[in-house]
Amino acid sequence: MSPAGGNGHTTTQPSGGRGSTASSGIVTILARALREETLSPGEIGALLAAGPRDRPALFAAADEMRRRHVGDDVHLRGIIEFSNYCRNNCLYCGLRRENRRVKRYRMEPVEITDAARQAVNMGFKTIVLQSGEDPYYNGDVLARIVSEIKELDAAVTLSVGDRRREEYELWRRAGADRYLLKHETADPELFARLRPGTTLSQRLKRLYWLRELGYQVGSGNMVGLPGQTTEILAADLLLLKELDVEMAGIGPFIPHPETPLGKCPPGDWQLSLKVLAVARLLLPKAHLPATTALGTVHPRGREMGLKCGANVVMPDATPLQYRAHYQIYPGKAGLEADTRRILAELHKMIHSLGRRVAADYGHTPKWENIISGRNYYAPMGTGHLY
């Protein structure tokens, strides 16, 4: 791709900058983005290609868009990784079924709800239940777990992969508020190569099911996958905009040594920040996490993410005896730390940025959908948002 606007004269960056200068082409694109005008794939590519001179303006614009639409609150969501069994064989994932060196575990339902109760007692208002694609937990089992966690006065996000529509509906009726199903890459051929036996169209079908069933829908992609291009990254962002997601998880690819991609280079953290920033410009009201992967590839990754448009952090609330075995990638941040200590450090970091820890459930700010009668987010069979 030949990025647009890369050779213009210098000018002051858009509002929200920090005194640096950026090329006129980038300034023009960012001004359009801040007016919430539609950006072309070429303009998105130009932002993704921003060099040291232009990055501060991009990050400042994303931070301004974040402040304007979702405010200064940072939502802390406690993630419980309850099973590392997976029926899939994705080339990039340490949980792939052919990895014989991972110590497999499954948490009992009572362990899951106990972990959720402890997390709620620590102050978490959202519990994220994540696992490999493990059919051991059938629709009824997960529905009961969701229902019990809802009784704790917490929102529930599920992230358990590709399942039948009937199961998605069952969990929605049990009270699940959100579902995270990353598309990983918007390129159909790359998707099929990295995820043998699956297709991008099948994944997109499920994302539309989730929307129809009234979930707050999350998706997202990795940055730096082998075979990925700037054009593919731009397509990822445009797909997220087309899906109109309520959440978008974007983080760097980190190779796992026990996978076919184990010797590939990791994704670049600076490019990951640029993709995150452009996502904020395209998705003003979405919840965007400063991902654990970003915090793994750089010690200040989460902090930098929060300065580039992010407004969510997802600390690990998995019991310590299981945490080290949920290795999608190696070296994950926070593996051995007590969750309370992690929370204390996050509170300190968030306050140092002039931000505050949110005290609400962190539902989508797209309130106009409800006001206009498009009540996507009320639990099925009720008239209430939560």
pLDDT tops 80 at residue 8: no
pLDDT tops 90 at residue 269: yes
- The binding site for S-adenosyl-L-methionine consists of 184, 195, 203
pLDDT tens digits, one per residue of 307-330: 999 999 999 999 999 999 999 999
Dihedral over Cα of 287, 292, 296, 300: its sign: positive
Residue that has been written with the tokens 């978490």 in this structure: 124
**289 - beta bridge partners?**
312
pLDDT tens digits, one per residue of 15-39: 434 445 899 999 999 999 999 999 9
Q: What is the mean pLDDT of residues 39-64?
A: 97
Mean pLDDT taken over the chain: 91
Q: What is the mean pLDDT of residues 229-237?
A: 98
CA atoms of 305 and 284, how far apart (whole Å): 15
- The binding site for [4Fe-4S] cluster consists of 86, 90, 93
- The binding site consists of 86, 90, 93, 159, 184, 195, 203
At residue 278, the pLDDT reads: 98
At residue 10, the pLDDT reads: 31
Residue 19: burial class (beta carbons within 10 Å; 0-12, 13-18, 19+): exposed
At residue 335, the pLDDT reads: 82
pLDDT tops 80 at residue 91: yes
Question: What are the residue boundaries of the structural domains of the chain, listed by start?
Answer: 13-69, 73-363
At residue 369, the pLDDT reads: 53
Residue 122: burial class (beta carbons within 10 Å; 0-12, 13-18, 19+): middle
Q: Which residues of 326-348 are buried (b: 16+ CB within 10 A; e: fewer)?
A: bbbbeebbbbeeebeebbeebee
Q: What confidence tier does 367 reach under pLDDT thresholds 50, 70, 90?
A: low
Query: Which among 39, 41, 53 is positioned nearest to 6, based on CA atoms?
Result: 53
- The binding site for (3R)-3-methyl-D-ornithine consists of 159
pLDDT tens digits, one per residue of 162-187: 999 999 999 999 999 999 999 999 99
383 phi and psi, to 5 degrees? -110, 15
Predicted TM-score (pTM) of this structure: 0.91
Alpha-carbon dihedral angle through residues 347, 366, 210, 181, given to the nearest 10 degrees: -40
| CATH class as words, domain 73-363 | alpha beta
At residue 13, the pLDDT reads: 37
pLDDT tops 90 at residue 131: yes
